[in-house]
Structure formats: structure tokens, C-alpha cells
Amino acid sequence: MERAEWLRQRTTQTTQDAEDCLRINYHGSKIVTEALLPLLRSSSDGRIVNVTSAWGLLRYFSGDELRRELDDVDNLTRQRLDEMSRLFLEDLGKGNGALERRGWPADQVYAAYMASKALVCAYTRVLAREEGAALRVNCVHPGYVLTGMNDYTGVLTAAEGAAAAVAVALAEKGGVTGAYFDRTELGASFV
């Protein structure tokens, strides 16, 4: 049996679970980052590396309009991302296919996780655009890491997963910003 299916059979998602997931993954990342921005801006080579997931890629979203909006970094704002987080929870609470109608991931078990990680990816790009050359802001999918969060079904050790984020953080000065890395490889896009 595939690991994802095995995990799916042991997982349920309540509205509270979804709120917690978004609060930790998206809002938590954003709050910590924004608290540290003044210090990072004072650095000659400030770097922000957000941890995301391949499940946060937009290919998992069921609607083209929402996918396009999340991919439109030139017009997306932090405020709109916060609003999208709220809309996700509203749609989840409505049930009856509201998530799919708006274009969120159709996966009923991992939709909140996927949405939260997509919001982290989009936030990374928005912040990179806002900060320009002053900071390098990227996100990294560390791989499927063996942790209690996935009932120890991962294939990488925590050290191997962390090494990906560290490698992105320590990349050469003046490198890419606003990018998604699949472990240490530059991803083609967020889509």
C-alpha cells in the first residue's frame, strides 16, 4: 500500500484541524518572518527560507482561477493571502463541495495542509517581490521526512530534511530570490 494512502486512512480533518494547520504553517511562518524583518533588512545578505511541501504546488488546486491568482505574484498581496486563508476555512466549514467550487485542493484529508503550504509558497514570492535585492526569500520542500507528523512513514531523516533548508540558506550571495526548491534543486515553478 502506498504511504500516502496508508496515512490517508489514518487521518481525519476537522475544521479545528484545518484552523490549526493554517495557523501554524502559514500564519506562524508569516508572523515569525515579519517579526524578524527589521533585523534581516539590516544584514548585508539577509536570507529567509520558508519550509513548504511539494503538496503546496498549485497543480493540486482544482480551479484555474484560484491557481492563476496565487501564481500572479505581480498583483498578489500579503493582505489577499490572509483573506484567502480565511476563505479556505469558510469554504471548508460550508461543506457540500464549497472547497472544490472555489478551486481549492479537492483532497478532503489534506486540503488544509495543501492550502497552507501553497499560501507559504505564495507569501515567499510576494515577500521576495516586496524586498527586492535587499533580501533573498525562498522556500524549500525538504522531502518526505520521517517524523511523528506522518506516523514515521517518511523516507528521509530529520537531518537530511534540514540539510535541504540549510543548503538553500547558505547558497552563494546574490543568488535567486522568490524561488521554490525541491530539496536543493531549483524547482521549475510553483505550478
Judge whether residue 84 has pLDDT over 90.
yes
- Distance in angstroms (rounded) separating the CA atoms of residues 70 and 50: 17
Query: What confidence tens digit (pLDDT) does each residue in 15-51 have?
Result: 898 999 999 999 999 999 999 999 999 999 999 999 9
Whole-number mean pLDDT of the chain? 89
What is the reported pLDDT for 3?
A: 43
* Structural contact between residues 76 and 169, judged by C-beta atoms closer than 8 angstroms: no
Please confirm, yes or no, whether 113 is among the known catalytic residues. Answer: yes
Rounded average pLDDT over 48-68: 94
pTM score over 0.75 = yes
- Distance in angstroms (rounded) separating the CA atoms of residues 24 and 181: 21
Query: What confidence tens digit (pLDDT) does each residue in 140-158 have?
Result: 999 888 777 777 887 888 8
What is the reported pLDDT for 8?
A: 52
Long-range contacts of 168-174 (CB under 8 A, 24+ apart): 168/49, 168/138, 168/140, 169/47, 169/49, 171/136, 173/45
Helical spans, DSSP H, in the chain: 3-9, 15-22, 29-41, 64-71, 78-94, 98-102, 111-131, 158-169
Query: Which position among 26, 60, 110, 113 bears the catalytic label?
Result: 113
Instruction: Kindly state which CATH superfamily the domain 11-186 is placed in.
Output: NAD(P)-binding Rossmann-like Domain (3.40.50.720)
Judge whether residue 2 has pLDDT over 80.
no
Rounded average pLDDT over 104-127: 93
Closest CA to 178 of 142, 129, 134, 133: 129
- Distance in angstroms (rounded) separating the CA atoms of residues 127 and 179: 11
- Distance in angstroms (rounded) separating the CA atoms of residues 131 and 137: 8
What is the reported pLDDT for 106?
A: 79
